[in-house]
Amino acid sequence: MLAVVIEKPHRWRVTDVPDPTPQDDEVVIAVSACGVCGTDLHIFEGSFPSKLPLFPGHEFAGEVVEVGKGVKSVKVGDFVAVHPNKPCLLCEFCREGNEHLCENLQAYGVHIPGGFAQFVAVKETNVYKAEGLTPLQAAWAEPLSCCLHGLNRVGVKSGERALVIGCGPIGLLFVQLLLIHGASEVVAVDLSEERLSVAKQLGASVTLQPNEFASSHKDIAPHGFALVVEASGNPKAVELGLKVVKAGGRFLQFGVCPTDATAGFSPFAVYRKEITIVGSFSLGREMPQALNLLMSGRIKVDVLTTHQLGLEGFGEAVRLMREAKSLKVQLLPNLGK
């Protein structure tokens, strides 16, 4: 089969390797679509703690083509989306129910072979039936689950005014989720006018570039925002976002900042305004929730998927993402097969 391999930082190629065979508790999936994520970019650039060489890709869906002897819940021909995390289930964090915080966490496409390949073997417990969704939609189950994980952690109440900083694919999922959950309005901030226009199309009431926002937020929300979602991963955006949380409000750190970045904030303001700062990493058990939302059509992902390419498009995907010329890029490993 063909698969993308990252051999070392900044070096990748499409390689021909043996097809995977399933263990007793695994299924083999013919990957229909796999989203390219910022994490893939970080792995490619060597700024993520993944061991190379690696077959990347952790946002994928496809058809079951082979099942191991012990598999009971899915059969050949089923269309499934994949939860990429493979926790150890033995460490303190797993035993506390926080499998995504597992200290021995392995994830398909991050530590073990992933979805930018024609076939992948994954555990039966990692697949979720996704009949009724297109491959394009089903490959969104993982990133949408991550957003739901963040939203479930931070919470949003009906009638709250929210701010989303960063309108990449994740920020644009948050714009939609916050409105579905009853936010009275969502203000969206990004450098790109194209991304802001998509935010507007998806229901954001006000869309602004960061400098416009910095000079006008007091007119828009004189007391600040009940909920601020940081989805850019830029430390400057973190600082700006923390300054505009309303007294009693919450701040969600969702964007992935560089591992050594720091951001300044006023501990006095956090104390005096009783601000809650919440972090969110990966996903827990939100896949069924995400698949239901995708199935309902209430979360729009077609408009967020700007490119679908074959495996050899990985380099193009990296370039598009670096230049913020795309929203979600998906690779279709079996395109034309």
State in angstroms the smallest separation of the CB of 321 from Zn ion.
12
When the beta carbons of 48 and 225 are compared against Zn ion, the nearer one is 48
Helix crossing, 169-180 with 193-201: angle to 10°?
20
Q: What span, in angstroms and rounded, lies between the C-alpha atoms of 55 and 32?
A: 16
When the beta carbons of 14 and 88 are compared against Zn ion, the nearer one is 88
When the beta carbons of 88 and 214 are compared against Zn ion, the nearer one is 88
When the beta carbons of 161 and 328 are compared against Zn ion, the nearer one is 328
When the beta carbons of 42 and 153 are compared against Zn ion, the nearer one is 42
Number of Cβ within a 10 Å radius of residue 166: 24
State in angstroms the smallest separation of the CB of 69 from Zn ion.
26
State in angstroms the smallest separation of the CB of 109 from Zn ion.
8
DSSP secondary structure code for residue 205 in this structure: S
State in angstroms the smallest separation of the CB of 87 from Zn ion.
5
When the beta carbons of 106 and 211 are compared against Zn ion, the nearer one is 106
Site residues (vs Zn ion, CB under 5 A)? 37, 39, 87-88, 91, 94, 102
Number of Cβ within a 10 Å radius of residue 66: 17
Nearest to 115 by CA among 333, 336, 335: 333
SS3 331: strand
State in angstroms the smallest separation of the CB of 104 from Zn ion.
5
Quick check: 48 and 111 in contact, CB under 8 A?
no
Helix crossing, 314-322 with 38-45: angle to 10°?
100
Q: What span, in angstroms and rounded, lies between the C-alpha atoms of 267 and 61?
A: 44
When the beta carbons of 87 and 113 are compared against Zn ion, the nearer one is 87
State in angstroms the smallest separation of the CB of 248 from Zn ion.
32
Residues making up the chain, counted from first to last: 337
Tokens of 106: 């392995």
Backbone angles phi, psi at 132, to 5 degrees: 95, -15
State in angstroms the smallest separation of the CB of 246 from Zn ion.
30
SS3 140: coil
The radius of gyration of the chain's CA atoms, rounded to the nearest angstrom, is 20
Q: What span, in angstroms and rounded, lies between the C-alpha atoms of 181 and 164?
A: 14
